[in-house]
Structure 1
Amino acid sequence: MSVQKVLELIKEKNIEFVDFRFVDLAGRAHHITLPATEVDADTFVNGVAFDGSSITGFRGIEESDMVMMPDPESVYVDPFTAHATLIVMSNIYTPDGERYERDPRSIAHKAEEYLQAAGVGTDAFFAPESEFFIFDDVRYESTMNSSSFFVDSEEAAWNTNRKEEGGNLGFKVGVKGGYVPVAPVDSQQDIRSEMVRLMQESGLRVERHHHEVATAGQAEINFRFDTLTKTADNLMKYKYIVHNVARQYGKSATFMPKPIFGDNGSGMHVHMSIFNEGTPLFWEKGAYANLSEVALNYIGGILYHAPALIAITNPSTNSFKRLVPGYEAPVNLVYSKGNRSAAVRIPVAAVTPKGCRIEFRTPDSTANPYLAFAAMLMAGLDGIKRKINPAALGYGPYDKNIYELSDEEKKEIRSVPGTLDEALNALEADFEFLTEGNVFTKEFIENYVAVKRAEAKAVAIRVHPHEYGLYFDC
């Protein structure tokens, strides 16, 4: 959409305010709102100033002036505000007009530019499957003398004897019993449908929605693939709508990977493919899973760099509460067709040449989508550049349930890092593939690692409630 079209849309929709947004290092959106009467063509040329020193991981106070440069291709009408508001995603620039090297959205753009400069293809397509929980009650605290959390859901397995309903109505979702049951077991059909309706009104092409495996309100809504940066924009829109519809229903939605113990966590399985001028590059009929050599090399890059990659695709301490065997978590660094116990799965049901893709199942939604998608693309492109053969490196294919392999067989399979610190160690040891084409800079990686180390330390030094059960009577 051109700037002129955006200005016409403001008049056509009687827009009162324009909300300019950018995304921080952690993947959270921030915004500054201007009255529509103050927005004109010059706004899209000169941008909107903000204080970068107040954003974690950005700039110090001595160089805090930064500029949001609006992207007219990203606009949509906010479905929640009382006053008609237009949302515009922005890239971040320094006051002297340089693209800010720590801006996640700019890094995503640079990854797309590198794809074309490398001569591999013209477009990289991404489609995330971002799972989430919808809770009725969320409480937590972490102080000097107290540490606790509490979540609740009317459909949770632990509420089969709850009396607060005025007589328990039953039909609770059992542990690991939540995959696509009908109502009344699935009590959240209407809230998900409302989310979908608003997503469609906001420009997302939604393909389906359903209850997910875990008890206590786990859900999934799938939207159509798009190019890298556009998909990251779409995921930000998706999460914004999920969070706010839940709030309208008096509930709270979270994309936290492991908010409850003893059941499946929430992942963000990411489907990827590369096209060249409309021609799919991952398809070769008759080959293993109909995958071309380009696709296998891309998989090789993903799996070879996976320990470092996971520091960006699974960047929270909570991520590693999900990445444990036994809960459909893809901890095994192998590839397979149709096998959900592998880190990389190749969908094979009803797949056409244009639909041929790979699915990286390890990521979760604590990831900044701009950084995560860019890093995945850079890993895959490195695999193509170096012609990494995943089979030759022992990454598969494994077409049986890996969790049922013998201990001896499992020794041959690499696993994901066990903690955020281990993943950050891997990233420090293996980051050059990210800096090709100056997509990520060494300075960015160092700053990113420092921010994430601080998060890991903040968790590690705090007393955990379970430690009282283990050690209080020592």
Structure 2
Amino acid sequence: MDRQQERVLREVADQGIRFIRLWFTDVAGQLKSVAMDPGELEEAFTEGVGFDGSAIEGLTRVHESDMLLRPDASTFSVLPWQGNATPAARMFCDVLTPDGLQSRSDPRGTLERAVERACDMGFTVMVNPEIEFYLLSRPVTPERLVPIDDGGYFDHVARDGDNDFRRKLVLMLESMGISVQFSHHEGGPGQNEIDLRAVDAVTAADNIMTARVVIEEIALREDMVATFMPRPFIDHPGSGMHTHIFLMEGEHNAFYDPAGEHDLSLTARQFIAGMLAHAGTICAVTNQHVNSYKRLWGGGEAPSYVCWGHNNSSALIRVPQVRPSRRNTTRVEYRALDPAANPYLALAVLITAGLDGIEKQMELMPEAEDNVWALTDKERQVLGIEPLPSSLHDALRRMRTSELVADALGEEMFLYLLRDKEREWRDYREQITAKEIAQFIRMH
């Protein structure tokens, strides 16, 4: 037993923790949880906790159902909303096969493999996400989606719940060891954003999953509903999860070069080139739902075209302006992700795409200096700017041919995702909407 595990056992005893919740996700990114008695924890660290993997979407087949959960002691955190009456804590888990090997269908393990690939190249991958979400008033029905306020970007909304909501959110996350950089009202009514500080990629994905849980828990207690749906409203902005990425070589930011254009190193330019080269084929992972494409092609600042730009919010990849005193924080911002993505798989394919650009020494296309949305199709064609997939169907068609995505996910998960998302597309395509009824049937 290592020191981290021994520390957790001491903390559980000292704080009187009554329940240990073991967290992991299915392939779609749905959080799964099982509670265990603290008395079982030492054995869980050494032997794992058995469960039926065939009951979890995408993990394994029925005749290979036995799986193990191995808690990661470094992720131990007390759950602040549980209170002192029955204190509980959580740990994220890796999913193992019965012989103790990492399961190829574990999303967290998939990201860990991508991170190991970066490590073999001498890099540590750092990520900080910006999570957008809407807060809705209860009751919520398909016919009644009412934001809790009428605010806009950076508005201070008095007499409403979201200022207090964000304060509680930040305090809860920080009590769990998750550092928050900013929180503010976003552009849509009832829309909020919370930006988490940069950490290593696996921790970043864990933090995204934790933030979703905390947001939903606070909303439940405040008689609200929180949604990470990419685009819940026709007339208001969609919710994205802009994701900042940079590579570290030891203590040095590998993306920073004071002699490079916009302070970008050759490594950074090749990493961007890799992400751009594979943007279309990874889209079914970074934007996994039918609704995701209503955000991407819904106007505003949603990225629809494969290009990059310095401080250009219409580009798929933005290179943010960095203050001279903080040039070692040079990074790139991938703007397509939405908050409904499985963060483990989305980061895995993004990292793999960027590393592919470095390994193949890809040349970065010229940057887009104009509002890409305002250009004509002909102007974009001349500039070599291709569109992202316009639908989940289009994204799946492109992903199906991608060796990079198949390699990043592993064959079983790759094929499962294709089947699962093709089913989502078929279900959507069969729906008859109120707009269609109104178009063809007279209501009087």
| Short-chain TM bin | over 0.9
Q: Is 1:311 aligned with 2:273? A: no
Unaligned runs of 5+ in 2: none
Q: Is 1:213 aligned with 2:187? A: yes
The alpha-carbon deviation at position 37 of structure 1 amounts to 2.7
Residue of structure 2 aligned with 1:280, choices 253, 264, 275: 253
Contact 1:48 1:69 in 2 (8 A): yes
Corresponding residue number in structure 2 for 1:85:
88
Secondary structure of 1:336's counterpart equals strand
CA distance in 2, matches of 1:424, 1:101: 21
RMSD: 1.7
Amino acid at match of 2:59: F
Corresponding residue number in structure 2 for 1:467:
436
Amino acid at match of 1:64: S
Secondary structure of 2:232's counterpart equals coil
Residue of structure 2 aligned with 1:433, choices 397, 404, 418: 404
Contact 1:26 1:366 in 2 (8 A): no
The alpha-carbon deviation at position 298 of structure 1 amounts to 0.6
Corresponding residue number in structure 1 for 2:77:
76
1:265-298 Cα offsets, whole Å, 9 max, x none, are 0001010011111211111114221111111111
Corresponding residue number in structure 2 for 1:422:
394
Structure 1 segment 358-397 matched on structure 2, within 5 A? 358-391=332-365, 396-397=366-367
Paired residues, number: 436
Secondary structure of 2:133's counterpart equals strand
Corresponding residue number in structure 1 for 2:29:
27
State the percentage of identical aligned residues. Answer: 30
CA distance in 2, matches of 1:245, 1:130: 16
Corresponding residue number in structure 2 for 1:150:
144
CA distance in 1, matches of 2:225, 2:10: 36
Corresponding residue number in structure 2 for 1:65:
66
Q: Is 1:123 aligned with 2:124? A: yes
Structure 1 segment 284-303 matched on structure 2, within 5 A? 284-303=257-276
Corresponding residue number in structure 1 for 2:13:
11
CA distance in 1, matches of 2:129, 2:139: 26
CA distance in 1, matches of 2:280, 2:310: 22
Structure 1 segment 142-221 matched on structure 2, within 5 A? 148-155=142-149, 172-173=150-151, 178-184=152-158, 187-215=161-189, 217-221=190-194
Q: Which stretch shows the higher mean deviation, 452-461 or 347-356?
A: 347-356
Corresponding residue number in structure 2 for 1:159:
none
Corresponding residue number in structure 2 for 1:162:
none
The alpha-carbon deviation at position 473 of structure 1 amounts to 4.2
Secondary structure of 2:236's counterpart equals coil
Contact 1:325 1:403 in 2 (8 A): no
CA distance in 2, matches of 1:12, 1:272: 38
Secondary structure of 2:226's counterpart equals strand
CA distance in 1, matches of 2:98, 2:361: 41
Contact 2:317 2:335 in 1 (8 A): yes
Contact 1:21 1:30 in 2 (8 A): yes
Q: TM-score, normalised by structure 2?
A: 0.94
CA distance in 1, matches of 2:377, 2:159: 38
The alpha-carbon deviation at position 344 of structure 1 amounts to 0.3
1:215-263 Cα offsets, whole Å, 9 max, x none, are 2x10001111111111101111111111101111010111110011111
Corresponding residue number in structure 2 for 1:454:
423
Unaligned runs of 5+ in 1: 141-147, 156-171
Secondary structure of 2:82's counterpart equals coil
Runs of 4+ off more than 4 Å: none
CA distance in 1, matches of 2:160, 2:309: 31
Amino acid at match of 1:208: F
Amino acid at match of 1:29: L
CA distance in 2, matches of 1:407, 1:43: 57
The alpha-carbon deviation at position 411 of structure 1 amounts to 3.3
Corresponding residue number in structure 2 for 1:105:
108
1:113-150 Cα offsets, whole Å, 9 max, x none, are 11122x2x23011111110001013534xxxxxxx442
Amino acid at match of 1:55: I
